[in-house]
Structure 1
Amino acid sequence: MKRSFCRLPLFWKIYLPTLAGLILYNEYLIHLYHSFQWADLQCETDSCVKILLVADPQILGNTFDRKLYWPLANFDSDRHLKRTYKRVVQHTAPDVICFLGDLMDEGSVANDVQFADYFTRFVNIFSQPTANTIMVYVPGDNDIGGEGLETVKSDRVLRFKQYFNEQDETPIEPTLRFLNVNRISMTLPLNNAPSTEERQPYTVLLSHMPILRWADPFTYKVVDDFQPSVIFSAHDTNPSTLRHIVISLHRCHL
């Protein structure tokens, strides 16, 4: 083997080690390097809850992109997502994992057979780490419709609920709850408005599309009715943080 390599032309002596180095770097070392830059999460109390947010994983479909290499592209993308997810879960050891919509790239246009295949791929990539890990799923426009001029399809909404067991409310502890707010279909959790008499839990709103982007009646109703402590949304490709001191969002007409 060593003699065979020594007999190769100079081009191959340079090209082959370079190719091997690039594969090693891009497939392994780059992920290891970035994982060392992640913050070390330490609980300050015994009652803390670690939450992992997964935004827009969008596993690839097989309808729009039918080039010759699409099976390889899907395989490589799934492998990358699975490996990254596994490393993140090992680093964070989350108690709750929230998927903030667009779980699939072509879920809203998939037929039932395709959707079942996408779901099987999804749960293989994003598996439940332990039996005690709480998994929360929120639909996105690529899952149920609503992107651009595409309408939200009621059968797609029902299908997502059936496959992912989507819930309006997920209570974590007596003092912590997650509420699913769907700006795409303009639907809210039922009978989950906070009481004015009892001690209220820390309320986390989950949505695919940002709630506070528009100052419309839906936004006012969400904030006034549920009085969220924090809102987590996805959809946008640029990360942003909005901080508000909210007493009430009731509008005044002059």
Structure 2
Amino acid sequence: MTMVKASALNRGTIVPDATSIADEHLSDVFICHCDPLISLGVASALRSTDRFHVNRIDPFQNAPPSGGHGTGAVFVCDFDTGLTLVEKAWGNRVSPRVVIVTPRDKEADVQLALSRGVLGYLLLGCQLQEVVDAVIAAGRGQRFLTASAAELVASQFGYQPLTQREVEVLTLVAMGRSNKMIANQLGVTEGTIKCHVKAILGKLGVRGRTEAANVAMRRGIVSEPMGFPAAGQGQGGRPAHLSRSLAAQVHTA
């Protein structure tokens, strides 16, 4: 994939610094999103431009097409469907061009999607024009992140990565375990755990265990406590709210 210099538009979105992505035409866009309201809103936003041939696919009923739709075909998906598409294409000569629209706002989620080959990452609350720009950019094989998603990616450069053992310790810290309890569970001395905790606090740039747990959950290093939905989601993993701009398009889809 050719990487180009990125620039920020007035609305705060990271897009390729090209002559004019708005002049491009994509033959096909497949919307494969688990939330029907988001699917309708995205479809309406794209159809309003008269630039795309939009196809809506229910990921629960039909498998998204994996290829044979021209080099400009783009798939707009929820997080899980998008990752499934790109992972199924591993080893193929041509990978699907995927844009994810999701409430998942953890740094780890964005990093995972990009590392798998996803081209666009949009968080709920984005502008309708950002959806259009993301699809156009993906059709050209270029990446597009909303400003909020880009900030999550950029934040990693201010921290040292945690080791696997430190992540294990931090997970138990976030569960409220004491150093002694963690030491007993991992089969090491309490002094060893104290050293791990000190290193964790330094790498995360925090002063205490509670702050470390909060930062770790916010960045997606550890999971939310059991019994509570992830931030931005309701019961069953469905979005707790929709972008007003996307929801408003449902009535015209």
Q: Say yes or no: TM over 0.5.
A: no
Please identify the structure whose Cα radius of gyration is greater: 1
By percentage of residues, which structure has more helix? Answer: 2
Higher relative contact order (CA 8 A, sep 6+): 2
